[in-house]
A = this chain, B = another copy of it.
């Protein structure tokens, strides 16, 4: 639009697409188009449409057309269809076609690096979940293998994670005491894992992936930070070797426990060992972060810590001086646990509830991890397919002595940095852990608990994203409130309560924004046909004889309609006052009120009633009401309620048309 203003120019219209004659279509015609537009999809059509769109995978809809072109090839096409179907269920089959030896080398290295981090973390997380160490290792074997065949993320590292482990122990300790009856507790954990897997798979199968979106980004940031602090506090038990630790997870109970333990027997060796290795781990982490090439330092540090500390304890027999050690880790691969599931006990309802919460949290983490790394590498992840894969891996996991597994933030980053090429690095990792389980568990006997605690502690800073919290505060105060709510709820009440608070605040925010009543005066941008908020665009000018007011709420409904009506009346009255006092030169008060409804997505019966009231009241002031740019659904409702008939002929497709129509085009095309 390089033409200069304030000069004569001429334009030849030769084509529909040429629109220098932007205002060349008669206003009456556009109003007619608007009023005669077909009915919008009904409520039922919208629901059916949404179900069709989301419940039926797009590939199924597309296939029929594609088949037409390949129908000729008979048997081969059936074979192809089967291959396509199998590939859809097991994405790993696609991999087989173009996998090269060079890629495998990368995957092997990444998988081994991953395993070196996975083994100590798994033992630590099992401890956090109040399970024996081998169950953490089991969970790093079966789920990654299942995921490798069904999942579509290439970087994700599957296994136990800190937040889900904490969540499990915090929820299940209240149902079953893990110290008093570890077998019953374990059975409960497997049952919850089964339920979580079933929920996750059904979310995917029913295409309910959007449920995971109900945890807003801000809520997740707050939740993760709160959980990280709780996890850190739980490590006090290992670091200080406290024996009577509280079973509650909130900050107050844990700190009370720690304070009380001061009066207990004190084992300084635990703290010395734990803290020195924590410093080592944090330094390694710092080096890995500063220099991307040295990331392996931070990746391998936990394994080195375990080996070193185990050797130290073994040589010095420090366990006899109060250093708590892992002791026996059961040898052998995952035992079958199908007979341990408790599906007809009285706790099955509670187990299902806990399973649902854990399922959502695990999915949220896995999908966030998967998506963020997929977007770095530039491919897509289908949330619903991922849910099916994660669901199945947990179902199979619950039958093979695993607890809930999901994608780990920290290990996925290591996997990515180690240069993994495909999901094969997970298989390499799982096999390494299997070998460890089979042959090396005895070497873990002397591993001190304090080291496991410091390994978990060193992974926590990744969960607390203070920068992001500051960013959220800067961008959106209400989002920050949801973040803070989740954080404080997790810290001071319970993990589930924190989630509830965050979801509650997030939805309250949506409600607040949707019904926030707004009306703003709009003016014409200089030398254009656009009407904009006069506060946002100070250069916009009023049109003589018009009040043009834009409703600024997405809904004109029972909750805000009378507010909006009052505000419009106030703006009109102010306008009358203003014109009368300040601009004495203008003789005619606004006799036209154009209500710009371009923002109103939906109107209900209360909203229409308020418009009718507004129309009546304005008539008393001698002001004509025009409606400009109503949305499809709104114009449909206005037609149905016969409001359009009441303001006959004063519904316009845009504010410009409304102004032009009322001024009778006089100012528009001055006689040349």
Contacts and interface: CB of A to CB of B under 8 A. Distances in A.
B21 A605 contact: no
A315 B651 CA distance: 67
Given A16-B541, A27-B1, A529 B213 contact: no
A33 B472 CA distance: 26
Interface in A1-31: 1-27, 30
A308 interface: no
Nearest to A507: B511
Contacts of A582: none
Nearest to A22: B529
Given A1-B27, A16-B541, A37-B537, A476 B604 contact: yes
A527 interface: yes
Interface string A525-542: 111111011011111010
Contact of A217 (B214, B538, B558): B558
Contacts of A18: 667-668, 670
Interface string A458-478: 000000000000011011111
B609 A217 contact: yes
Nearest to A510: B514
Contacts of A40: 536
A399 B276 CA distance: 75
Interface in A513-554: 513-516, 524-530, 532-533, 535-539, 541, 543-544, 552-554
Contacts of A7: 13
A506 interface: yes
B541 A668 contact: no
A210 B516 CA distance: 11
A554 B602 CA distance: 10
A580 to B, nearest CB: 13
Number of identical protomers:
2
A433 interface: no
Contact of A668 (B1, B26, B561, B605): B1
A215 B558 contact: yes
A632 interface: yes
A19 B527 contact: yes
Interface in A21-66: 21-27, 30, 33, 37-38, 40, 42-44, 46, 53, 58
A90 B602 CA distance: 40
Nearest to A33: B537
A563 interface: yes
Contacts of A38: 535-536, 538
B5 A210 contact: no
Contact of A375 (B474, B510, B555, B616): B616
A79 interface: no
B23 A217 contact: no
A646 to B, nearest CB: 14
B476 A637 contact: yes
A20 B19 contact: no
Interface stretch (A104-112, A141-149, A490-498, A653-661): A653-661
Contacts of A668: 1, 18-20
Contact of A1 (B24, B563, B613, B617): B24
Given A25-B5, A30-B525, A510-B515, A475 B608 contact: yes
A562 B383 contact: yes
Contacts of A670: 12, 14, 18
Contact of A19 (B23, B33, B613): B23
A95 interface: no
Contacts of A657: 1
Contact of A570 (B3, B21, B58, B210): B58
Contacts of A543: 17
Given A1-B665, A10-B672, A670-B12, A37 B558 contact: no
B24 A605 contact: no
A33 B1 contact: no
A563 B210 contact: yes
Nearest to A664: B2
A601 interface: yes
A380 interface: yes
Contacts of A647: none
A641 interface: yes
A475 B640 contact: yes
B528 A22 contact: yes
A606 B513 contact: no
Contacts of A42: 477
B217 A472 contact: no
A1 B659 CA distance: 11
A582 B517 CA distance: 46
A553 B539 CA distance: 29
Contacts of A513: 514, 554-555, 601-602
A459 B185 CA distance: 65
A73 B551 CA distance: 43
- Cβ-closest 7 pairs across A and B: A554-B554, A216-B558, A22-B529, A514-B514, A217-B606, A25-B527, A43-B477
13 contacts: A2-B26, A3-B23, A5-B21, A9-B10, A9-B21, A16-B541, A24-B528, A25-B528, A218-B605, A511-B511, A513-B555, A514-B514, A554-B555
Given A2-B669, A22-B529, A510-B555, 17 more contacts: A5-B24, A8-B12, A9-B669, A20-B669, A21-B527, A22-B528, A33-B537, A43-B477, A216-B558, A471-B605, A475-B637, A479-B604, A514-B554, A529-B529, A533-B632, A554-B555, A554-B599
